């Protein structure tokens, strides 16, 4: 009987843990750029062309992963980075918990910022997507929609997306009326179109939208009724898909494209539910998309049993022995692993001692895959809670 109760308690614990928010969202993910420079990552890495060339340019279109996936990349790097610090006679920096969060938030964000657009391709797209059936640019095109040359305010792709979205239902009526195909926008389409419109307009007002604040975006998500039809965790199915389950690990304008492509369906669903088509002002669209992008920041929960194996196989257990008999403290007793940021920070800060000890024993640096990192965290967090 007791055993059954224990199992039930355990199950409850696991299901409750599953969606607990352990990581606070950064309100300006670009803050981490400062950490990236100050902590010397910039000696070896560039971000979109600026910085060192020993390691790869991190600004290219690549998604590096969730929080602990990124933590594992940094961990595996430590010996090589430490060599660089010594070589350059730079003191090895420590991270505070906030700095660690900002650094990893910044790396997570790189994919989101995307690449600059191509004017030539944008010109082709306006034609091939049928925009010129209704809009005019440089004397070519229709007169149903506003003349792109007369736009005073086009600057960023995000601004265009927001304007398109706000006019979405009206545009759709016209599209139906003229029996045209609804233009879908994928990949770099929006960035290219906006690059072309931008250089073709006579307007010189620069309306720049900041790349977005995920914390504010969470608010926008609620205020604009998105949560009426979408959940953001795997649970409780609503009318629309759960947004944490679809792949949004792409640039801001690609995500905007996905929303745009679904807007005809969404317009219909919203009509049925008597919801007003949401209008976005100021930086709201950018904030909303930043929030959607950050839905993948937090890791899927790891596996406890496998985490224990990692702890043993990677040699942690041999220094961090039970009862504090080893060289290092007994990690099972420390009650310090309430969130993954803390674990990552402590592991970074303790790495030099560990490196010295391993060198003395002629042992290799234990590499950790993302999965192993997630499992290790799960294990340490769980044993900490039990004590």
Q: Which stretch binds ligand HEC (CB under 6 A): 2-10, 12-20, 70-78, 299-307?
A: 70-78
Q: Cα–chain-centroid distance for residue 328?
A: 35
The Cα 93–Cα 312 span in angstroms is 28
Residues 6 or more apart from 320 whose CB is under 8 A from it? 311, 326, 328, 329, 330, 331, 332
Ordered DSSP codes for 6-22? HHHHHHHHHHHHHT---
Q: Residues 135, 148: contact at Cβ < 8 Å?
A: yes
Question: Site map for ligand HEC, 24-63, x if CB under 6 A?
Answer: ---------------xxx-xxx--------xxx-x---x-
Position 303 contacts ligand HEC (CB under 6 A): no
Give whichever of 33 and 129 is closer to ligand HEC, judged by the CB atom: 129
CB of 385 to ligand HEC, least distance (A): 16
Position 312 contacts ligand HEC (CB under 6 A): no
What pairing do the DSSP bridges indicate for beta strands 140-141 and 50-51?
Answer: unpaired
Residues 6 or more apart from 337 whose CB is under 8 A from it? 331, 343, 377, 380, 381, 384
CB of 5 to ligand HEC, least distance (A): 32
Q: Residues 58, 69: contact at Cβ < 8 Å?
A: no
| Number of chain residues interacting with ligand HEC (CB under 6 A) | 83
User: Binding to ligand HEC (CB under 6 A): which residues in 148-177?
Assistant: 160, 163-164, 167, 170-171, 174-175
CB of 210 to ligand HEC, least distance (A): 18
The helix (run of H) or strand (run of E) holding residue 46 is strand 46-47
Interface pick for ligand HEC out of 12, 124, 178, 305 (rule CB under 6 A)? 178
User: Binding to ligand HEC (CB under 6 A): which residues in 187-226?
Assistant: 193, 224-226
Interface pick for ligand HEC out of 269, 303, 321, 330 (rule CB under 6 A)? 269
Closest CA to 331 of 316, 341, 345, 342: 316
Give whichever of 15 and 32 is closer to ligand HEC, judged by the CB atom: 32
CB of 87 to ligand HEC, least distance (A): 8
Give whichever of 287 and 298 is closer to ligand HEC, judged by the CB atom: 287
Q: Cα–chain-centroid distance for residue 193?
A: 24
Q: Which stretch binds ligand HEC (CB under 6 A): 13-21, 198-206, 301-309, 330-338?
A: 330-338
Ordered DSSP codes for 108-135? HHHHHH-----HHHHHHHHHHTTGGGT-
Q: Cα–chain-centroid distance for residue 376?
A: 22
Question: Site map for ligand HEC, 335-354, x if CB under 6 A?
Answer: -x---------xx--x--xx
């Amino acid at each position: 009987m007791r055993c059954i109760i224990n199992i039930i308690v355990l199950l409850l614990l696991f299901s409750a843990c599953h969606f607990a928010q352990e990581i606070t969202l950064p309100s300006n993910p670009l803050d981490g750029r400062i950490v990236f420079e100050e902590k010397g990552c910039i000696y070896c890495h560039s971000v979109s062309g600026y910085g060192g060339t020993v390691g790869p340019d991190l600004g290219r279109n690549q998604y590096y992963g969730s929080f602990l996936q990124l933590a594992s990349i940094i961990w595996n790097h430590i010996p090589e980075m430490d060599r660089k610090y010594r070589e350059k006679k730079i003191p090895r920096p420590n991270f505070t918990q906030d700095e660690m969060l900002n650094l990893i938030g910044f790396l997570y964000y790189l994919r989101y910022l995307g690449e600059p657009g191509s004017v030539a391709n944008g010109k082709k797209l306006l034609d091939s997507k049928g925009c010129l059936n209704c809009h005019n640019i440089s004397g070519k095109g229709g007169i149903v929609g506003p003349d792109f040359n007369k736009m005073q305010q086009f600057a960023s792709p995000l601004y265009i997306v927001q304007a398109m979205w706000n006019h979405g239902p009206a545009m759709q009526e016209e599209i139906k009326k003229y029996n045209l195909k609804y233009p879908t926008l994928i990949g770099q389409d929006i960035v290219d179109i906006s690059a072309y419109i931008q250089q073709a307009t006579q307007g010189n007002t620069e309306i720049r939208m900041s790349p977005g604040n995920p914390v504010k975006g969470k608010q926008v998500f609620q205020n604009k009724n998105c949560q009426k039809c979408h959940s953001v965790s795997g649970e409780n199915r609503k009318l629309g898909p759960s947004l944490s389950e679809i792949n949004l690990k792409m640039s801001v304008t690609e995500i905007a494209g996905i929303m745009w492509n679904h807007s005809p369906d969404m317009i219909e669903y919203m009509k049925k539910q008597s919801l007003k088509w949401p209008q976005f002002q100021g930086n709201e669209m950018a904030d909303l998309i930043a929030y959607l992008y950050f839905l993948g920041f937090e890791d899927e929960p790891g596996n406890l049993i496998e985490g224990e194996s990692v702890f043993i196989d990677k040699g942690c257990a041999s220094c961090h022995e039970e009862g504090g008999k080893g060289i290092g403290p007994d990690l099972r007793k420390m009650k310090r692993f309430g969130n993954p940021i803390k674990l990552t920070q402590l592991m970074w800060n303790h790495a030099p001692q560990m490196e010295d000890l391993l060198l003395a024993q002629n042992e290799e640096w234990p590499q950790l895959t993302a999965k192993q990192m997630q499992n290790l965290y799960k294990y340490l967090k769980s044993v900490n809670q039990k004590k």
